[in-house]
A and B are shown apart, each in its own frame.
Chain A
């Protein structure tokens, strides 16, 4: 089983619908992240959380919200989805505060908003 699990893996929805993407991890890491990836733009940070009580906005948080339900769970919500939120979304984890700390990614959630 993957250390970082995202659900759903694929989702097609309509404009205006509420969508939740869920992420769970078994790595025991404190830090969790949500990124979106669009062709030609690379990975853009949406939100990140250093622990259950610490949540921070990233570069492109507008239109998104998150919830850190437990150390192992970090969910991303689109309250009212719009077509330009069509993208590949990745959850990631890392150990806390190390210069050499790397990110471990989930397999991604492909979201299409019609």
Chain B
């Protein structure tokens, strides 16, 4: 079983709708969490870090559920430009915050 798992999708979302998806992690020692966005054949770029209390950045909301060991990303009022693959990443102090573990990504396709 992979340490970090994501539903690969695709999630087909009408423009203006809301989409949400999760990422589960198996290492209970995981302490820092991130969402990255990756456009087709491009490098991943940080979308947002995920804090224990949850956090919001514009139309994007990230949540952490430590008890069930997953993080979530919600996108409100989806735009065509939100079409991408969203990768989650986890890290922990045991490896001096050095070994980021990534999920395989969730593809989101926003349609007109």
Interface residue ranges, A against B (CB under 8 Å)? 31, 33, 35, 40-45, 48, 50, 56, 58, 88, 90, 96-103, 105-108
Contact = CB atoms under 8 A, between A and B. Distances in A.
Nearest to A91: B43
Interface residues of B, number: 28
B96 A97 contact: yes
Contacts of A98: 97
A98 B102 CA distance: 18
A94 B7 CA distance: 27
B111 interface: no
A103 to B, nearest CB: 6
Contacts of A100: 32, 49
Contact of A105 (B43, B99, B105): B43
B46 A102 contact: yes
B66 interface: no
A56 to B, nearest CB: 7
